[in-house]
Amino acid sequence: MKGLIAWFAGNSVAANLLMGLIVIAGLFTLPTIKQEIFPEFSLDIIAITVVYRGAAPEEVEEGVCLRIEEAVQDLEGIKHITSNASEGVGSVSVELEIGYDSGELLDDIKARVDAIETFPIETEKPVITELRNRRAVIDVVIWGDVEEEALKAIGQRVRDDINAIPGITQVDLVSARPYEIAIEISETDLRRYGLTFEEVAGAIRRSSLDLPGGSIRAREGEILLRATGQAYEGDEFASIVLRTRPDGTRLMLGDVANVVDGFAETDESARFSGKPAVGVRVFRVGNQAALDVAEKAKAYVDEAQADMPAGVTITHWNDQSRILRGRLDLMTRSARNGYLLVLGVLALFLRFRLAFWVSLGIPISFLGAIWLMPTLDVSINLISLFAFIVVLGIVVDDAIIIGENIFKHQERDGASVATSARAAGEVALPVVFGILTTVAAFYPLLNVVGTTGKVMRVIPMIVIATLLFSMIESLLILPAHLAHKSERRLPVLSRISDVWRRFQGTFSNGLTNFIEHRYSPFLYRAIKWRYTTIGIAVATLVLTIGLVSGGWIRFQFFPRVESDFVAASLTLT
């Protein structure tokens, strides 16, 4: 260790190359790091959804949910199975064992479910997906006093426009009722025309569908045949022939039933500023930057207002990227203020040149951690930025210890490579162990399992990487920068330096007076009455444990904090 420190102290070129590598690599890596509001992770849940139209919850449970449960329950890696049967749809959620390969279990479940041959004929193909946390970036709201059909059409157009913007690939239409064509038939009308419900349903099923008709080889090539008869509008359904009479007249569906081309009846509606509204939700996927996605969506909103019909307004809402932007600003301010604070405090007692190189350890350590973020599969998000803010207060401690020891030796022996290497080597061991103890404190977070572990793992990764680069900077780079004393100084700088030294003397004398007359006597008494000192420390520890165990100090893993939004829930009885 001391030999390596001495070699770097005597080879300033190598030290500068190492520093340049860290700085340049960090700066080049920074623009390529994925930006997101919250880290992406799998929820360790596989969802199986089967649509069974027109079926009651009891039928869905017996015909869908129970058969899926029986098919997958003996698969390895399953922790818990939860089923939910509702009208027309059944869903089964499979929770994975901690640490089990979700991809392997997903393939096994697909194979088992696809092999089920006893589903009711009316069921649709099962949809099997692994749940992941999709993170919305921003919402776009279209609102105004217009018909619901027109409002939804505008929302669909806005969704398609935003989805076509380069850099945005996932946009959903939300808060809009789905289209639905309702065919209402009374029992009286069925009797009047001598029809049954099954006959009507069969006629609709046979007439409203697209069928492949094979292919015909022609001189120009192969021609694919396809019969297109799928009905999409109410008028098309109303014109479906139910029966042809002997006289050639036809009985149409519209003669028997009331065909309503509208929206599904749901218990949900959306209003914005007191008027009907639909929403368009913009997501960040892959390596897209949340801030970039939000800016593009807001730019579109500003331009699209001019194209909105009269009485319709478009605006952006629920901008989640502002949280990320605020955390970025907080980290930037904290890093800047921390750098200036360290620089200013050290400059009060040490040489300004030494204070500059010591405080420079903050950006170098941060850039080193940024360099490793893609390798560690860590993005710029609220959790990683929080980790940077946490480590900001401890990242430069090792550099301060080494810098102060070098300053003390140089005051006594003069500035030289040997002095710098010897001073750094004296405190290298305690500095290394000091960093390792901090690393050990954060390391257990890497072993937290489950969803919480996937979120919290970012903190120790950032903290440990930053501390290790801080150790490299303080042991290998800092001694080389402090090994030589600059002899060339302008007269103006010399006068400023003399004034600053006198200013430093005031603080230095005050600190020395405090140490000699306050701290040293107190330390002497604490050592003299060591058993009393240890007893007070143990009593304080026991008291603290008692306060926590007794509930006087409450513990919350995720404390409740005030939100920027107010939600109201009304129940009608």
Residue 520 to residue 445: CA distance in whole angstroms: 39
* CATH assignment of the domain containing 204: 3.30.2090.10
Statement to judge: residues 378 and 303 lie in one domain: no
* CATH assignment of the domain containing 65: 3.30.70.1430
Q: 258-263 and 179-184 as β-strands: parallel, antiparallel, unpaired?
A: antiparallel
Rounded to a whole number, what is the distance in angstroms from the first to the last CA of the chain? 76
Residue 119 to residue 50: CA distance in whole angstroms: 10
**Burial state string for 368-389 with b = 16 or more CB within 10 A and e = fewer than 16:** bbbbbbeeeebbbbbbbbbbbb
> Other C-beta atoms within 10 Å of 124: how many?
12
The SS3 assignment for 267 reads: coil
The pLDDT, as a whole number, for residue 211 is 62
Residue 172 to residue 156: CA distance in whole angstroms: 9
Which of 33-47, 159-173, 338-352 is most confident? 159-173
Statement to judge: residues 256 and 390 lie in one domain: no
Here the tokens at position 194 are 């001598």
Residues 63 and 120 sit within 8 Å (Cβ to Cβ): yes
Residue 544 to residue 263: CA distance in whole angstroms: 61
Which helix (H) or strand (E) segment holds residue 84: the answer is: strand 78-86
Residues 23 and 365 sit within 8 Å (Cβ to Cβ): no
Statement to judge: residues 105 and 85 lie in one domain: yes
- Give this prediction's pTM: 0.71
Q: What is the dihedral of CA 232, 237, 241, 243, to 10 degrees?
A: 140
Which helix (H) or strand (E) segment holds residue 205: the answer is: helix 197-207
Which helix (H) or strand (E) segment holds residue 314: the answer is: strand 312-317
Q: Residue 315: which residues within 8 A CB-CB, separation 6 or more?
A: 140, 141, 143, 301
Q: What mean pLDDT is predicted for residues 330-353?
A: 78
Domain boundary among the residues 132, 149, 168 is at: 132
Least confident of 355-369, 442-456, 518-532: 442-456
Which of 54-68, 124-138, 390-404, 518-532 is most confident? 518-532
The tens digit of pLDDT for each residue in 494-523 reads 566 666 667 766 777 777 788 888 889 999
Statement to judge: residues 63 and 197 lie in one domain: no
**Would 573 be classed as within a structural domain?**
no
**Would 303 be classed as within a structural domain?**
yes
**Would 499 be classed as within a structural domain?**
yes
Domain boundary among the residues 218, 248, 263 is at: 263
The pLDDT, as a whole number, for residue 497 is 62
**Would 333 be classed as within a structural domain?**
yes
Q: What is the residue range of 153's domain?
A: 136-177+267-319
Q: Per-residue confidence at 308, pLDDT binned at 50, 70, 90?
A: confident
**Would 566 be classed as within a structural domain?**
no
- Tokens 């399953």 belong to 78
* CATH assignment of the domain containing 9: 1.20.1640.10
The tens digit of pLDDT for each residue in 178-221 reads 877 788 788 887 788 777 777 777 777 777 666 666 677 766 66
- In terms of Cβ atoms closer than 10 Å to its own Cβ (0-12, 13-18, 19+), residue 225 is exposed
Residues 451 and 96 sit within 8 Å (Cβ to Cβ): no
* CATH assignment of the domain containing 162: 3.30.70.1320
Statement to judge: residues 147 and 9 lie in one domain: no
Statement to judge: residues 62 and 189 lie in one domain: no
Within its chain, how far is the Cα of 207 from the centroid?
Answer: 48
**Would 192 be classed as within a structural domain?**
yes
The pLDDT, as a whole number, for residue 28 is 92
Q: 271-272 and 275-283 as β-strands: parallel, antiparallel, unpaired?
A: antiparallel
Question: Which amino acid does the sequence have at 317?
Answer: W
**Would 536 be classed as within a structural domain?**
yes
The tens digit of pLDDT for each residue in 261-305 reads 777 777 778 888 888 888 899 988 777 788 888 899 999 998 888
Instruction: Select the more confidently predicted residue: 196 or 109.
Output: 109
Residue 476 to residue 432: CA distance in whole angstroms: 12
Statement to judge: residues 159 and 285 lie in one domain: yes
Domain boundary among the residues 487, 517, 535 is at: 487
Residues 230 and 223 sit within 8 Å (Cβ to Cβ): no
Q: Per-residue confidence at 368, pLDDT binned at 50, 70, 90?
A: very high
Statement to judge: residues 312 and 168 lie in one domain: yes
Nearest CA to 403 out of 335, 349, 451 is that of: 349
- In terms of Cβ atoms closer than 10 Å to its own Cβ (0-12, 13-18, 19+), residue 85 is buried
The tens digit of pLDDT for each residue in 370-414 reads 999 988 888 888 888 888 888 887 887 888 888 888 888 877 777
**Would 207 be classed as within a structural domain?**
yes
Q: Per-residue confidence at 235, pLDDT binned at 50, 70, 90?
A: confident
Which helix (H) or strand (E) segment holds residue 244: the answer is: strand 241-244
Q: What mean pLDDT is predicted for residues 138-146?
A: 89
Statement to judge: residues 330 and 215 lie in one domain: no
**Average pLDDT of the chain, as a whole number:** 82
Residue 331 to residue 137: CA distance in whole angstroms: 21
- Give 222's strand partners: 217
The pLDDT, as a whole number, for residue 394 is 82
Statement to judge: residues 94 and 127 lie in one domain: yes
Nearest CA to 181 out of 242, 223, 230 is that of: 230
Residue 111 half-sphere exposure, CB side, CA atoms within 13 Å?
Answer: 7
Residues 46 and 94 sit within 8 Å (Cβ to Cβ): yes
The pLDDT of residue 167 is above 70: yes
Residues 364 and 471 sit within 8 Å (Cβ to Cβ): no
Statement to judge: residues 449 and 425 lie in one domain: yes
Domain total of the chain: 5
Residue 379 to residue 34: CA distance in whole angstroms: 5
Instruction: Select the more confidently predicted residue: 164 or 209.
Output: 164
Could you tell me what percentage of the chain is helix, strand and coil, using 3-state DSSP and rounding each to the nearest 5?
55, 20, 25
Q: What percent of the chain has pLDDT over 70?
A: 91
Statement to judge: residues 281 and 167 lie in one domain: yes
Greatest alpha-carbon pair distance for the chain in Å reads 121
**Burial state string for 156-190 with b = 16 or more CB within 10 A and e = fewer than 16:** eebbebbeeeeebebbebbbbbeeebebebeeeeb
Residue 172 to residue 167: CA distance in whole angstroms: 15
